[in-house]
């Protein structure tokens, strides 16, 4: 081995200064006893990017987030954040990141105001100093500032948690499943807030199991069973997919799914809301052919359309799992 | 520093907003003290005795009178032969029989020695032991009054307890024990629960991902409980002194200093427990079962250490409460100064250092 003096800013594997990058994840492996949770994760997040980590529950998102936030040690691999290594320089990183864990992790017996003030002093700052940053978010819950945090609604808890994570003006904001258990309106508001924060010189990494949220990110990484399947902009991921997808609808949805799965060309059949998305082997299917097939099966009010695949279709396609049983 | 004060403030909010915590902190100690002090006495009252006086001289009569006028004993009947002893025990009323040898006065004056046989009904071993101890103490007392210049003529080993507590007031013994137990309970259990609660609620995750150092978290957690435990110690001492009349012979300052040392030792033990326990249930279980029971059973609080089997006697050496109880008894009842308790103090101090070092070492800066 060469006697390299590892500089924090220039890890041995990088050619460009890490300072230029927001987050650099290189070949992370992590196992819990016999179960491999992360099987070689690598990706980069640019500075001031809104980066999504999309994957189902149990894919390894939380484990990865905890490694990024210095809470867990990877078995092997490196992560640098703003040039600092998450294992060696964990103290530096703990000063400069904002972290919002998956479940509500504030003090339920402290009021909204007390929670915020506590986290401000813990990070050596004051609410006043960085109020500008959280104003848009905190203003929603400010009328309830005397209320105990445990008595807030799901959406308000989430806003408070975000305010607390932001109060020290972190360079990197890491949000683990922030929209789980939050209503649709609050979710949309939340993503608008993230978009605004991005403009304030903050790199944001957010994980979510909701694939419809993927299109709101600048770039996304699709993760499944501890492996990254693709990293790209949502549009590029969809374009690369290039499969032909039929959206099918009829009155008897359950029988429709079974019939579609029974189709001899069926590769993937998934329900998306009221529609069933059908992917054929080698994309060898036409709308009229499908209509005829369903008519023969005596389905009523049949609608068959060819659609532009969404990120969810891509994800399902990439999972390459056999169509699961209903 | 500001981080720390804000942490401590937050901790006080937790304590004062949770009624259950408040009850455990202040209600239970006072209730326990009152219960232990009044109900679970090792005092005896009106124990029925029988006397078989083979001598019937002046001395035996005076001893009998002294015994019966003490309030601890009540005469059931005079026996006339040794055979009656077993019969009277069988009836179950009489718990102790006192037998004076023939020619008691004569041999006491001539030889300086006379024999009294004390026979107790040991079906209730505790009562039996107490009755014998009380009788011995009263007889010793009598002899001392009669012959102040003379060595005690009976082969009696006066225990420390009789010596320093001539009236044999049990509550004197129970106040130090209860104090050790309560301080142990509050300090160790409450801190271990308070820290594991952060793990359970998930706030520990955020605290770890912050510039807070482990020592900040530990000191922040411990300080409120230190203050509250000191208040508790003062309350216990005040109740002991004014309600139960337990004397405080030694220096009150030394007493408080030793109490603070013991509290800090228990707090560091609580932190150590919290580093091992994953949730509040486990922390509570460890504190109660692995800490409380040995403290009660092995510290000499209820069962005298001298009466224990060798193995348990050795085990009692590692019980912090044992040393604290000894310190308390020395200071409160004997009025000893720091020179007499330095060894016990050093042991407690060593235990505290050990627990602090172990918990700082075991405190996890990451999740597992």
**How many folded domains does chain B comprise?**
2
Per-residue pLDDT reduced to its tens digit, A209-235: 888 888 889 999 999 888 898 899 988
Would you state the structure tokens that stand for residue A129, as one six-digit string? Answer: 């100093």
Which residues lie closer than 8 Å to A241 by C-beta, 6 or more apart? A309, A313, A314, A317
Q: Does residue B226 belong to any structural domain of this protein?
A: yes
pLDDT > 50? residue B112: yes
Q: Does residue B229 belong to any structural domain of this protein?
A: yes
Considering only CB atoms, which chain B residues are within 8 Å of A95?
Answer: 211
**Whether residue B329 sits in one domain with residue B201:** yes
- Last-in-domain residue among B164, B198, B227: B164
How far is A135 from A141, CA to CA, in rounded Å? Answer: 10
**Whether residue B61 sits in one domain with residue B93:** yes
Asked if B6 lies within 8 A of A66 by C-beta distance, the reply is no
Give the strand pairing for B96-100 and B47-53.
parallel
How far is B245 from B239, CA to CA, in rounded Å? Answer: 8
**Whether residue B173 sits in one domain with residue B159:** no
Confidence of residue B22 (pLDDT cuts 50, 70, 90): confident
**Whether residue B190 sits in one domain with residue B150:** no
**Whether residue B175 sits in one domain with residue B159:** no
Between positions 57 and 86 of A, the ones with CB within 8 A of B are 66, 69-73
Asked if B205 lies within 8 A of A71 by C-beta distance, the reply is yes
**Whether residue B227 sits in one domain with residue B142:** no
How far is A237 from A314, CA to CA, in rounded Å? Answer: 7
Closest residue of chain B to A173, computed from CA coordinates: B209
Kindly state the average pLDDT of the residues A107-130.
92
- Last-in-domain residue among B164, B195, B215: B164
How far is A96 from A166, CA to CA, in rounded Å? Answer: 10
The neighbour count for residue B26, using CB atoms within 10 Å, is 15
Give the strand pairing for A172-176 and A97-100.
parallel
Give the strand pairing for A219-224 and A227-232.
antiparallel
% residues pLDDT > 90 (chain B) = 17
Asked if B14 lies within 8 A of A99 by C-beta distance, the reply is no
Q: How far is CA B303 from the centre of its chain?
A: 9
Asked if B208 lies within 8 A of A90 by C-beta distance, the reply is no
The domain spanning residue B160 has which CATH number? 3.40.1710.10
**Whether residue B343 sits in one domain with residue B229:** yes
Asked if A105 lies within 8 A of B206 by C-beta distance, the reply is yes
For B235-249, give the DSSP string: HHHHHHHHTS-----
- Shortest distance between the Cα of A125 and any Cα of chain B, in A, equals 9
Q: In chain B, which residues touch A (CB < 8 A)?
A: 2-3, 6-7, 10, 13-14, 17-18, 201-203, 205-212, 365-367
pTM, two decimal places: 0.74
Closest residue of chain A to B209, computed from CA coordinates: A94
Q: Does residue B367 belong to any structural domain of this protein?
A: no
**Whether residue B173 sits in one domain with residue B270:** yes
Domain limits at B284?
Answer: 2-40+169-362
Asked if B211 lies within 8 A of A118 by C-beta distance, the reply is no
Q: How many CB pairs (< 8 A) connect A and B?
A: 73
Question: Of A67-71, B149-153, B214-218, B265-269, which range is least confident?
Answer: B149-153
Nearest residue, CB atoms, A105 vs list B18, B205, B365:
B205
**Whether residue B278 sits in one domain with residue B152:** no
Which of B10, B198, B209, B210 to mutate: most A Cβ within 10 Å?
B209
Mean pLDDT for chain A overall: 85
pLDDT > 60? residue A28: yes
**Whether residue B198 sits in one domain with residue B140:** no
Confidence of residue A283 (pLDDT cuts 50, 70, 90): confident
Q: Does residue B368 belong to any structural domain of this protein?
A: no
Domains and CATH numbers, chain A: 18-238 (3.40.50.300), 243-308 (3.30.70)
Asked if B205 lies within 8 A of A95 by C-beta distance, the reply is no
More confident residue, A142 or A312: A142
Query: Where do we find the tokens 């337990």?
Result: B246
Kindly state the average pLDDT of the residues A7-29.
62
Q: Are A196 and A136 in contact (CB under 8 A)?
A: yes
B82: Cα within 13 Å, side-chain hemisphere: 5
Question: Of A91-100, A282-291, B253-262, which range is least confident?
Answer: A282-291
Mean pLDDT for chain B overall: 82
- Last-in-domain residue among B129, B164, B199: B164
Asked if B211 lies within 8 A of A123 by C-beta distance, the reply is yes
For A104-119, give the DSSP string: --S-TTSBHHHHHHHH
Which of B199, B206, B207, B216 to mutate: most A Cβ within 10 Å?
B206
Asked if A69 lies within 8 A of B207 by C-beta distance, the reply is no
Asked if A72 lies within 8 A of B208 by C-beta distance, the reply is no
Per-residue pLDDT reduced to its tens digit, B47-94: 888 888 888 888 888 888 888 888 888 888 888 887 887 778 777 778
Considering only CB atoms, which chain A residues are within 8 Å of B208?
Answer: 70-71, 94
pLDDT at A65: 93
Nearest residue, CB atoms, A71 vs list B10, B13, B209:
B209
Asked if B203 lies within 8 A of A119 by C-beta distance, the reply is no
**Whether residue B144 sits in one domain with residue B74:** yes
Q: Does residue B123 belong to any structural domain of this protein?
A: yes
**Whether residue B358 sits in one domain with residue B271:** yes
Query: Where do we find the tokens 């005596």?
Result: A298
pLDDT > 70? residue B262: yes
pLDDT > 70? residue A15: no
pLDDT at A174: 94
Which residues lie closer than 8 Å to B10 by C-beta, 6 or more apart? A107, A110, A114, A118, B220
- The H-or-E segment that residue B324 falls in is helix B320-329
Per-residue pLDDT reduced to its tens digit, B208-253: 888 888 888 888 999 999 999 999 999 988 888 888 778 888 888 9
A20: helix, strand or coil: helix
Most confident option among A227-231, A296-300, B97-101, B353-357: B353-357
Would you state the structure tokens that stand for residue A178, as one six-digit string? Answer: 């922030």
Considering only CB atoms, which chain B residues are within 8 Å of A124?
Answer: 2-3, 211
Nearest residue, CB atoms, B367 vs list A72, A114, A123:
A72
């Amino acid at each position: 081995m060469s006697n390299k003096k590892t500089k924090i800013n220039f890890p041995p594997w990088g050619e460009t200064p890490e300072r230029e990058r927001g987050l650099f994840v290189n070949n992370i492996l992590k196992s819990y006893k016999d179960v491999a949770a992360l099987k070689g994760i690598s990706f980069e997040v640019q500075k001031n990017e809104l980066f999504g980590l999309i994957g189902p529950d149990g894919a390894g998102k939380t484990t990865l987030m905890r490694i990024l936030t210095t809470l867990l040690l990877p078995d092997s691999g490196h992560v640098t954040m703003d040039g600092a290594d998450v294992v060696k320089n964990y103290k530096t990183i703990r000063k400069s990141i904002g972290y919002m864990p998956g479940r509500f992790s504030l003090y339920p017996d402290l009021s909204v105001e007390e929670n915020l003030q506590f986290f401000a002093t813990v990070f050596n700052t004051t609410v006043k100093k960085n109020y500008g940053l959280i104003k848009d978010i905190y203003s929603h819950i400010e009328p309830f500032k005397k209320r105990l945090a445990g008595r807030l609604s799901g959406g308000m808890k989430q806003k408070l948690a975000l305010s607390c994570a932001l109060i020290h003006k972190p360079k990197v904001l890491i949000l683990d499943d922030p929209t789980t258990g939050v209503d649709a309106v609050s979710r949309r508001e939340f993503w608008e807030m993230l978009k605004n924060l991005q403009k304030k010189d903050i790199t944001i990494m957010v994980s979510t199991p909701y694939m419809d949220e993927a299109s709101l990110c600048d770039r996304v990484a699709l993760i499944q069973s501890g492996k990254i399947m693709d990293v790209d902009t949502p549009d590029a991921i969809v374009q690369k997919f290039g499969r032909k997808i039929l959206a099918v609808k009829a009155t008897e949805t359950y029988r429709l799914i079974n019939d579609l799965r029974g189709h001899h060309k069926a590769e993937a059949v998934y329900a998306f809301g009221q529609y069933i998305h059908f992917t054929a082997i080698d994309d060898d299917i036409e709308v009229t052919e499908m209509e005829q097939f369903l008519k023969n099966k005596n389905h009523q009010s049949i609608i068959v359309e060819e659609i532009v695949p969404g990120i969810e279709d891509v994800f399902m396609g990439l999972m390459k799992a056999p169509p699961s049983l209903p | 520093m500001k981080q720390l004060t804000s942490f401590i403030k937050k901790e006080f909010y937790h304590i004062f907003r949770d009624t259950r915590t408040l009850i455990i902190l202040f209600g239970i100690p006072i209730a326990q003290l009152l219960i232990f002090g009044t109900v679970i006495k090792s005092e005896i009252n009106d124990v029925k005795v029988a006397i078989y006086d083979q001598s019937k001289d002046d001395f035996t009569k005076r001893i009998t009178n002294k015994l019966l006028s003490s309030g601890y004993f009540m005469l059931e009947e005079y026996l006339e032969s040794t055979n009656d002893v077993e019969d009277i025990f069988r009836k179950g009323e009489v718990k102790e029989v006192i037998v004076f040898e023939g020619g008691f006065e004569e041999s006491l004056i001539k030889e300086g020695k006379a024999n009294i046989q004390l026979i107790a009904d040991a079906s209730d071993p505790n009562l039996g032991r107490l009755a014998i101890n009380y009788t011995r103490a009263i007889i010793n007392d009598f002899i001392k009054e009669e012959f102040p210049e003379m060595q005690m003529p009976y082969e009696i080993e006066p225990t420390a307890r009789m010596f320093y507590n001539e009236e044999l007031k049990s509550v004197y013994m129970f106040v130090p024990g209860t104090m050790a137990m309560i301080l142990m309970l509050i300090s160790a259990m409450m801190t271990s629960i308070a820290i594991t609660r952060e793990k359970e609620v998930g706030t520990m995750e955020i605290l770890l991902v912050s510039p807070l150092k482990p020592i900040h978290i530990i000191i922040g957690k411990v300080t409120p409980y230190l203050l509250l435990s000191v208040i508790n110690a003062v309350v216990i001492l005040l109740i002991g002194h004014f309600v139960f009349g337990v004397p405080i012979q030694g220096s009150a300052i030394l007493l408080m200093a030793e109490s603070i040392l013991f509290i800090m030792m228990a707090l560091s033990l609580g932190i150590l427990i919290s580093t091992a326990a994953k949730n509040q249930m486990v922390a509570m279980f460890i504190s109660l079962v692995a800490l409380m029971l040995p403290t009660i059973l092995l510290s000499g609080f209820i069962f005298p250490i001298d009466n224990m089997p060798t193995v348990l006697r050795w085990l009692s050496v590692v019980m912090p409460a044992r040393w604290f109880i000894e310190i308390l008894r020395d200071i409160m009842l004997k009025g000893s100064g720091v020179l007499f308790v330095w060894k016990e103090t050093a042991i407690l101090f060593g235990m505290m250092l050990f627990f602090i070092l172990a918990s700082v070492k075991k405190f996890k800066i990451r999740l597992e």
